[in-house]
A and B are shown apart, each in its own frame.
Chain A
Amino acid sequence: MASTDAQVAQLPIHLSAEIKKSPSFLYRFVRNPQAVVGGLIVVMMVILTVAAPLITDRDPKAPVVPIRINQFIEPNAEHIFGTDRLGRDVFTRMLYGGRVSLQVGLAAVMLSAAIGTFMGAIAGYFGGWVDVLVSRLIDTFLAIPGLVLTIGMVAVLGSGLDRLVLAIAISSWPLYARLVRGSFMAIKEQQYVEAARSIGVRTPRIMFRHILPNAVGPILVVMTIGTAGAIMTEAGLSFLGIGLEPDVPTWGRMLADAQDHIREHAYLSIFPGIAIMLFTLGFNLLGEGLRDLLDPRLRKR
């Protein structure tokens, strides 16, 4: 059985998988300026945040200068981004804040992609009333503005990292479901799927071993751009003081705190914003680059 499966999987297949396997993918990736710049920004930010404890031995939550009449230190050699209202090192807080953004971004995207892929797969593969039901659900969720829906979900679920991730995932799964549904509807008509079915491969195996790998390209693109969206959502919610506990260092909350001191200490408002922008810009560029690489229709433009 295993050998026939392998043979079926190797039958002529959809473009995206072919592109991924062809040796020129890496070459074309390197030639795509969007993908390269985006990729570099993302890698740089990920290294900085993951290696935060190695880069600095300061505590993001504890003051590094005693809180006196003036705990605000303007950026200098020792505190390159300065210190905040509680005398905490802004650079250190930004490194740890980045970890939160990255965690939330990746976890939320993986969870929502998993939910969305599953829902889209069953809708696209089975059709009929399952499809009607899932499609209506997708339309309904898409009708509610993402941020408002996420805020509503946080209200229901409560705050905390895992709940925030769940809230973002619940409000963004329809994007994946819509996409996967379309791919499944197209791919299930392909001959190799019919071949697999005719030799008695079971339905779940057809769906997730034979069809899914060939629908994965566009999902990856949406996931990359979705990570940017999730990071932005986390930052926005933290800015509003929703979703995470107040003592967690996040870029959004740093900006909210900074706005109280915007006239005297404008530097506090600058750096966390740049960080959020770079992170989302990196993922957006990478996603658009990947889309150009994976979608041959757009390549000529």
Chain B
Amino acid sequence: MWAVMTVVFFLMRISGDPIDLIFAGDPRPERIEEAEALRRDLGLDRPVHIQYVDYLTDVLILDFGESIVQNRSVTQMMREKLPATLELTITAFILSYVIAIPVGVFIALRKNSGIDYGIQIIAMIGVSIPSFWLGILLILFFAVRLEWLPALAVGGDGIEYLILPALTIAIPRISFMARFVRGTMLDVLNQDYLRTAYSKGLRNRQVIYRHGLRNALIPIITVAGVQLGYLVSGSVIIERVFGIQGIGDMLVDSISGRDFPVTQATVLVVALSIVLMNLLVDILYVYIDPRLRTE
């Protein structure tokens, strides 16, 4: 976590002075004065190592400073924007696992059959399709053509506003995960202990779910953190497509508005939540895999 914070800090500083970027060499004297005042406010006139220590302590108490453009505390903006993004990514996350695992197991059991190839080809296309275009296509079909669902996620918070955006983010992940589950399942199916289970006379179903899937789940859970990372990335773009007021929307706005503290805070919060997720996965392991408990 400390490493992530440090890297974010230094990456954001290597460009030099954000104030120069905002004012871009505006020669008018009152603008230069304004720039100096802002620089003092933000503490950018002090040596880098002091800035760094300040930054670390600020982050620890969840103080991300003030937005340059909006004159509001970044923490407060976060609090407003975070729920929408969380709702979206968590729905998409659940959706992707709930669909991808059964599909992956299904095609692994029918390895090299027509349906296996068919689903794999669809999944390959699903991985290659740009998520924002997928979103546009879904809007075109379900909102414009069929008029079943709203085109934009504004004006309400019912489930119908969540379906299209969540699907849009989930589909590329489902495609990836289904192929991944197929791979790990095939690895497990080739193991000796599965042959043992069969030779004990256990029923097919029991072998696959009790002995097969449980072992295949370990690598599948390992990638959960990475998956969540992709979902957040997807959310950044998809929020724009559907007009959702979330973290991604905030990040994009902060870049076009050159709102430096907001950009820095958003990148950091996203990165830290992924690190936390990975930590959670590590803890979860111990419950799933008893072998790890003894170590």
Contacts and interface: CB of A to CB of B under 8 A. Distances in A.
B154 to A, nearest CB: 14
Contacts of B140: 262, 266, 269
A269 B136 contact: yes
A272 B8 CA distance: 34
A190 interface: no
A156 B4 contact: no
Contacts of A228: 128
Given A140-B4, A144-B271, A255-B136, A284 B127 contact: yes
A14 to B, nearest CB: 24
A281 B15 contact: no
A247 to B, nearest CB: 16
Nearest to B1: A143
A277 B236 contact: no
A241 B255 CA distance: 10
Contacts of A201: none
Nearest to A141: B7
B277 to A, nearest CB: 10
B229 A145 contact: yes
Interface string A234-278: 011001111000000000100110110011001001001100110
A55 interface: no
Contacts of B255: 151, 154-155, 242
B267 A273 contact: no
| Size class of the B contact interface (CB-based, 8 Å) | 35 or more
B125 to A, nearest CB: 6
Q: Most B CB atoms within 10 A — which of A154, A266, A272, A284?
A: A266
A262 B136 contact: yes
A269 to B, nearest CB: 5
Given A145-B274, A154-B255, A281-B125, A262 B144 contact: yes
A284 B128 contact: yes
B136 to A, nearest CB: 5
B233 A280 contact: no
Interface residues of A, number: 48
Contacts of A153: 11
A240 B241 CA distance: 9
A273 B137 contact: yes
Contact of B237 (A147, A269, A276): A147
A157 to B, nearest CB: 6
B192 to A, nearest CB: 17
B232 A235 contact: no
B144 A147 contact: no
B191 to A, nearest CB: 15
Contact of B236 (A147, A157, A273): A147
Contacts of A122: none
Contact of B3 (A139, A242, A258): A139
A2 interface: no
Interface in B247-273: 251-252, 254-256, 258, 260, 263-264, 266-267, 270-271
B109 to A, nearest CB: 15
A281 to B, nearest CB: 4
A301 B184 CA distance: 12
A280 B128 contact: yes
A149 interface: yes
B4 A148 contact: no
A146 interface: yes
Interface string A114-147: 0000000000000000000000110111011111
Which 4 residue pairs of A and B lie closest in terms of their CB atoms, listed nearest first? Answer: A273-B133, A147-B233, A281-B128, A145-B229
18 contacts: A139-B3, A143-B275, A143-B278, A144-B271, A145-B229, A146-B229, A147-B236, A147-B237, A148-B266, A151-B255, A152-B264, A158-B21, A252-B130, A258-B136, A259-B136, A276-B133, A277-B128, A280-B128
